[in-house]
Amino acid sequence: MNIKTKDLNLLLLFKVLFEELNVSSAAVRMDLSQPALSHKLNKLRHEFADPLFVRAARGLTATPKAIALAPAILQLVSELEGFYQQQTQPDFLAQTDRLVIYSTDYIESLLLPDLLARFSEQAPNVQLVFRHTQGTLPKQQLERGECDLAIAGFYRDLPESFYQQQLLAEQFVVLLRQQHPLSDQILTLENYCQARHIVTTLTGDLHGIVDQALALTGHSRLVCAGLSGFLSPAYLLEKNDLLLTCLKSLAELSRCSHPELIIKDCPVPLPTVQISQIWHSRTQDDPLRRWLRHQIQQLLVAS
C-alpha cells in the first residue's frame, strides 16, 4: 500500500465525526460546508469500504468497523496535531488561554494554592476555571472542548477516546470531634452503626459506598444529613456528635482548619479509592494541557 495515494485529511475527518457524531457540528469544526463534508465522508467510506457513520435518531452512530478503527486513528491524528502544535507554539506557556477543570471543592483545596503559584510564575496569561462536577463524568463537555480536565475518584467506565491517569490511592477514615462519646474508644462495627452520620452527596443519594458495604454484612447506619460539598461537613462536626467517613487526605485537610477534630480508623471494609485525572483525546498532545496534567500529577502525588 502506497501512502502517496492516501488523503490523510480523511483521518482528521474520521476523528471529528467520531467525536461529534453530528454532521453540523463536524462541519463547523472542519470549517467546511455540509455538502463539502458529505463529499469527503463519501471518500472516507470508499477508503475503508464501510459506511462508518450512519444516521440515527439523533445525529450519527458509528458502525462496528468505525468503532474498531477509532483507537488507532484517534491516536495517530492526536500525535500529528501535537507535532504541528509544537512547531508553531515553541513558547506555549506565554500564550493567552483558559483552562477549565471539573472537580470537587476538596480537590480544589488540595491543588489550587500551589497550582496558582506555578501558573503565576510560569504561565501568567492563562486563566484557570474550576467547575463543580455533579458526580458523573462531564463527557459532553470534554468532547466539545468546554472542559479540559476532570479530576475525581468516582468516574467509571470511560468511553473510547478518553485518557486516564491515576494520581492518588486513598483509604477511608472516620472524622469526629474530641468531645464525641466515641473519641476515646476504638471504633467497632457496632458502635459505628449506632452513631449518627453525615455524608457528602453530589447526587442527593444518601445511600453510598459505605452503606453498600454495610448491607453486605447485614448492618446499616443512621445518616442524618447529606451535604453537597466535601469541606463543609467539618464545620458541623465541631458542634455535633456526628461521624464523617471520608478519604484520609480530606480528613487531614479538615484538621488543618479544625484542629479539635480527630481521625480514627474506619471499621467498615472499604475499597481503596483511585483519584484520577481524565481528558479527551482532542487535548492529548496539546503542549499547554499536557503541561497542566504534569503539574497536577506532581502536586497531588506529592501531597
**Intrachain domains 3-88 and 92-168+275-302 with the same fold:** no
**Residue/partner pairs of 131-140 with CB below 8 Å, 24 or more apart:** 131/100, 131/101, 131/102, 131/103, 132/102, 132/103, 132/104, 132/105, 133/102, 133/103, 133/104, 133/202, 134/202, 134/203, 135/202, 135/203, 137/278, 138/102
Q: How confident is the model at residue 188, as a pLDDT?
A: 96
Task: Parse the chain into domains and list their residue ranges.
Answer: 3-88, 92-168+275-302, 172-271
For residue 285, pLDDT beyond 90: no
- Percentage above 70 pLDDT, the chain: 96
CA 233/CA 222 separation, integer angstroms? 16
Residues in the chain: 303
- Residues 2-55: pLDDT tens digits? 677 788 889 999 999 998 898 988 888 888 898 999 999 999 999 999 999 999
- pLDDT tier at 73, thresholds 50, 70, 90: very high
Name 223's Cβ contacts closer than 8 Å, sequence gap at least 6.
197, 198, 199, 206, 211
**Contact in structure between 267 and 176 (CB atoms under 8 Å):** no
The answer to which of 125-129, 141-145, 291-295 has the lowest mean pLDDT is 141-145
Name 41's Cβ contacts closer than 8 Å, sequence gap at least 6.
13, 17, 52, 53
- Residues 236-274: pLDDT tens digits? 999 999 999 999 999 999 999 899 999 999 999 999 998
- Percentage above 90 pLDDT, the chain: 58
Domain 92-168+275-302, second-level architecture: 3-Layer(aba) Sandwich (3.40)
Assigned C-alpha cell, 119 = 501558573
- Name which CATH class applies to 3-88: mainly alpha
CATH 3.40.50.20 at 172-271, yes or no: no
- 0.75 exceeded by pTM: no
Q: Which of 57, 75, 83, 59 lies closest to 14 in space, CA to CA?
A: 75
**More confident of the two residues 161 and 132:** 132
* Helix (H) or strand (E) run with residue 54 in it: strand 53-55
Q: How confident is the model at residue 87, as a pLDDT?
A: 61
For residue 85, pLDDT beyond 70: no
